[in-house]
């Protein structure tokens, strides 16, 4: 299936978004105090099972492609 020339040209002109890798962050578990690491402020403690709310992260989560 061929792509119409207008769409092909506009696709080439769009600037690709730069990839920003996640940042590794550290904090004490809110439930048991164990030092835990997370990605962009999202944490899960393997000692007691505590997890913080996903909205507490430092950046927005990536959107899914449908």
At residue 53, the pLDDT reads 92
- Between CA 40 and CA 60 the distance in angstroms is 9
Kindly state whether residue 62 falls inside one of the protein's structural domains.
no
Q: How confident is the model at residue 51 (pLDDT cuts 50, 70, 90)?
A: very high
Kindly state whether residue 42 falls inside one of the protein's structural domains.
yes
Kindly state whether residue 28 falls inside one of the protein's structural domains.
yes
At residue 4, the pLDDT reads 66
The secondary structure element, H or E, covering residue 5 is helix 5-13
**Domain that includes residue 33, residue range:** 22-52
Residue with tokens 């769409």: 7
Contact 36, 26 (CB under 8 A): yes
Contact 45, 32 (CB under 8 A): yes
Kindly state whether residue 31 falls inside one of the protein's structural domains.
yes
Kindly state whether residue 16 falls inside one of the protein's structural domains.
no
pLDDT digits (tens, 9 = 90+) for 8-48: 665 556 666 787 888 999 999 999 999 999 999 999 999 99
Kindly state whether residue 13 falls inside one of the protein's structural domains.
no
Structure token pair of residue 57: 């992260």
- Per the structure, the count of domains in the chain is 1
């Amino acid at each position: 299936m061929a792509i119409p020339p207008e769409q092909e040209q506009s696709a080439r002109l769009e600037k690709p978004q730069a990839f920003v890798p996640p940042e590794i962050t550290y904090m004490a578990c809110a439930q048991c105090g164990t030092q835990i690491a997370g990605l962009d402020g999202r944490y899960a403690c393997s000692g007691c099972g505590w997890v913080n709310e996903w909205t507490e992260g430092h950046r927005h989560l990536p959107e899914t492609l449908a």
